């Protein structure tokens, strides 16, 4: 089964063709990052306008790369939330229009569920596909959640952030330090030249279940700079901040995996592109005897292939969405 999937929940316009939920035939991602950089963050109105400008070309490119015509597509999928509503409706309506015109099934996919399914795509060798039940840490610019994945489509949220998402903390700290946008990749790169033990930033809520809090850590960075001035060795500061985020994420994930007695841990979402997080989670999982699944970098950040994979498993469970499905900006898993 070949699914055309579309993802426009935030600032990436993406379309993909995915076969049987695992094989990527194409995955086109048009990033808007250049248009938002001068504002230091995503401007929703700019994002939706840019999606409209490029959606047709992105979908056509995905079909061309997959060497498939629209008529041969078995189903059409799109993200319907969570995300920016003006962005979501562009991809959602485009997908619904194609499904309606071609009389093909339409599948609306939750963006967070999509991120989890990056772990089921082929570049991740088959042997590394996680076995149910597994604990998945979903960390992105908008979400930080620990999810127990019991089966395809069966989720239990164990914990979530009470304030900022992990990616948001990276982006806000980078903006405060004026070191570039988006903050995650900039801090990741700069941290490689720094000492992560230089400054002992707080690790909030370590002993309080599976919820997270990152806004205090961001404030701790701001207060440190206000008290001591900009450090001579900025990489030490950002590496110490990054290590605090990573320690919280990794230790809570390991704790959840132990408590839930699972064999597998999976990682998902834009922040899972972070090199330190990937390294530390792999090491700690090995120490504790867990198998770990980490998607390749291009499948960690927003892309439509992950939506195509999630849609396949929804169809297999007999799910189909109505063409009047609306975008839900605050959708939960």
Measured CA distances, 90 to 99, 114, 140 (Å) = 14, 18, 21
91 makes contact with ligand KG4 (CB under 6 A): no
Concatenated DSSP letters of 194-226: S-TTSS----TTTTSTT-B--HHHHHHHHHHHH
Question: 235 is in the binding site of which of Zn ion, ligand KG4, none (Cβ under 5 to 8 A by kind)?
Answer: none
| Shortest Å distance, C-beta 299 to ligand KG4 | 10
Question: How far apart are the C-alpha atoms of 166 and 247, rounded to whole Å?
Answer: 12
Question: 108 is in the binding site of which of ligand KG4, Zn ion, none (Cβ under 5 to 8 A by kind)?
Answer: none
The answer to whether the bond into 82 is cis (omega within 30° of 0) is yes
Please list every residue from 259 through 278 that binds ligand KG4, using CB under 6 A. Answer: 269-271, 273-274
Binding segment for ligand KG4 (CB under 6 A), chosen from 29-37, 139-147, 195-203, 248-256, is 139-147
Binding segment for Zn ion (CB under 5 A), chosen from 34-42, 87-95, 136-144, 311-319, is 136-144
Binding segment for Zn ion (CB under 5 A), chosen from 24-32, 34-42, 98-106, 295-303, is 295-303
Q: Do residues 207 and 162 lie in contact, with contact meaning Cβ atoms separated by under 8 Å?
A: no
Question: How far apart are the C-alpha atoms of 136 and 150, rounded to whole Å?
Answer: 10
Task: Note the Cα 151 to chain centre separation in Å.
Answer: 20
Please list every residue from 274 through 333 that binds ligand KG4, using CB under 6 A. Answer: 274, 301-302
191 makes contact with ligand KG4 (CB under 6 A): no
Exactly one of 94, 278, 302, 304 binds Zn ion (CB under 5 A); that residue is: 302
Exactly one of 19, 164, 171, 247 binds ligand KG4 (CB under 6 A); that residue is: 171
Question: How far apart are the C-alpha atoms of 236 and 229, rounded to whole Å?
Answer: 14
Spatial neighbors of 263 by CB under 8 A, at least 6 apart, are: 131, 134, 290, 291
Spatial neighbors of 299 by CB under 8 A, at least 6 apart, are: 118, 121, 123, 124, 305, 306
Please list every residue from 203 through 242 that binds ligand KG4, using CB under 6 A. Answer: none
Question: 171 is in the binding site of which of ligand KG4, Zn ion, none (Cβ under 5 to 8 A by kind)?
Answer: ligand KG4
Question: 167 is in the binding site of which of ligand KG4, Zn ion, none (Cβ under 5 to 8 A by kind)?
Answer: ligand KG4
| Nearest of 105, 56, 14, 153 to residue 323 by alpha carbon | 105
Please list every residue from 8 through 67 that binds ligand KG4, using CB under 6 A. Answer: 10
140 makes contact with Zn ion (CB under 5 A): yes
| Shortest Å distance, C-beta 187 to ligand KG4 | 6
Exactly one of 91, 130, 159, 167 binds ligand KG4 (CB under 6 A); that residue is: 167
| Shortest Å distance, C-beta 168 to ligand KG4 | 6
Strand pairing class (12-19; 23-31): antiparallel
The answer to whether the bond into 153 is cis (omega within 30° of 0) is no
Task: Tokens for 182, please give them.
Answer: 């988006």
Question: 247 is in the binding site of which of ligand KG4, Zn ion, none (Cβ under 5 to 8 A by kind)?
Answer: none
Binding segment for ligand KG4 (CB under 6 A), chosen from 50-58, 167-175, 307-315, 320-328, is 167-175
Residue 257 φ/ψ, nearest 5 degrees? -65, -40
Instruction: Give the residue with the Cβ less far from Zn ion, 114 or 130.
Output: 114
Question: 274 is in the binding site of which of Zn ion, ligand KG4, none (Cβ under 5 to 8 A by kind)?
Answer: ligand KG4
Measured CA distances, 221 to 217, 234, 247 (Å) = 6, 12, 16
* Footprint of Zn ion (CB under 5 A): 140, 302
* Footprint of ligand KG4 (CB under 6 A): 10, 140-142, 167, 170-171, 182-185, 188, 269-271, 273-274, 301-302
């Amino acid at each position: 089964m070949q699914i055309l999937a579309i993802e426009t929940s935030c600032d990436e316009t993406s379309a993909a063709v995915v076969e049987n939920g695992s094989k990527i035939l194409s995955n086109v991602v048009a990033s808007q990052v250049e248009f938002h950089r001068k504002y230091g963050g995503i401007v929703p109105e700019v994002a939706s306008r840019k999606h409209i400008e490029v959606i047709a070309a992105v979908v056509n490119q995905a079909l061309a790369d997959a060497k498939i015509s629209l008529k041969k597509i078995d189903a059409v999928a799109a993200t319907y939330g969570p995300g920016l509503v003006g962005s979501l409706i562009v991809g959602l309506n485009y997908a619904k229009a194609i499904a309606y015109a071609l009389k093909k099934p339409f599948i609306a996919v939750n963006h967070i569920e999509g991120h989890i399914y990056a772990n089921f795509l082929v570049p991740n060798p088959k042997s590394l596909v996680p076995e149910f039940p597994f604990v998945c840490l979903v960390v992105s610019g908008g979400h930080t959640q620990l999810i127990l994945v019991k089966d395809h489509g069966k989720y239990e949220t164990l914990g979530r952030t009470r304030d900022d998402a992990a990616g948001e903390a990276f982006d806000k700290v980078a903006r405060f330090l004026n070191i570039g946008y988006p903050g995650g990749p900039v801090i990741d790169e700069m941290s490689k030249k720094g000492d992560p033990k230089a400054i002992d930033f707080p690790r909030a809520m370590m002993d309080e279940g599976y919820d997270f809090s990152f806004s205090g850590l961001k404030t701790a960075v701001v207060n440190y700079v206000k008290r001591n001035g900009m450090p001579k060795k900025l990489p030490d500061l950002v590496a110490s901040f990054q290590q605090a985020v990573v320690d919280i994420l990794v230790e809570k994930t390991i704790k959840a995996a132990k408590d839930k007695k699972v064999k597998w841990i999976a990682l998902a979402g834009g922040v899972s592109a972070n090199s330190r997080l990937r390294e530390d989670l792999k090491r700690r999982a090995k120490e504790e005897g867990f198998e770990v699944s980490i998607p390749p970098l291009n499948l960690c950040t927003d892309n439509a292939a992950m939506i195509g994979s999630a849609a396949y498993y929804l169809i297999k469970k007999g799910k189909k969405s109505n063409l009047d499905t609306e975008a839900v900006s605050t959708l939960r898993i």
